[in-house]
Amino acid sequence: MPGLRPSKRRHRVHADVELKLIPVMSLLVVLVPMLLQTAVFQKVAAISMSLPSADEVRYLEEPTPEELARSVTVAMTDEGFVVASGDETLERVPLTAEGGYDFEALAAALARVKRSFPGQEALVLLVEDAVRYEDVVHAMDRARPHFPDVSLADRVQAPVEE
């Protein structure tokens, strides 16, 4: 039997290997700015609202008739905005010809109402169920320059008599 050849593993050739990082660095220099330019950055906005706790709600007092008469409310309906104080309707802002809410007219109406109620800082926004969230946020944004304390409420419908 002829003898076996010696394994190549026994005879290792030691060569100095030099890593060339320049092509990798060039690739990164091109890719990183391109990825940053194509990245989508999203702006996150929040509406700060403070609601009373359940314990505080139990001890809230009924508003007096004078307080109700001085309060300002804006109702968002399927016909537009209704600005009221107590039982009195102060302004009506109908929908636009396209069927959307007229937020510029609302801002002008609230500016006129603010002149009638200069000490009033609070406004209650009454919203019907069919109103879109985006429209509610736009209405709150238009009201804040005139009435900084904007509260959000569900619109209470009168019961239908049979």
Q: Tell me the average pLDDT across 122-129.
A: 86
Overall average pLDDT of the 105-118 stretch: 88
Least confident among 54-68, 69-83, 86-100, 116-130: 54-68
Question: The dihedral of CA 157, 138, 48, 130: what is its sign?
Answer: positive
Instruction: Check which CATH number belongs to the domain holding 125 and give it.
Output: 3.30.420
- Retrieve residue 110's tokens: 């609230």
Residue 27 lies inside a defined structural domain of this protein: no
Instruction: Report how many domains make up the chain.
Output: 1
Instruction: State the residue range of the domain holding 98.
Output: 65-154
Q: What is the pLDDT of residue 159?
A: 43
pTM: 0.57
pLDDT in tens, 10-47: 666 667 778 888 888 999 999 998 888 888 777 777 66
Cα–Cα distance measured from residue 65 to residue 71, given in angstroms and rounded to the nearest whole number? 10
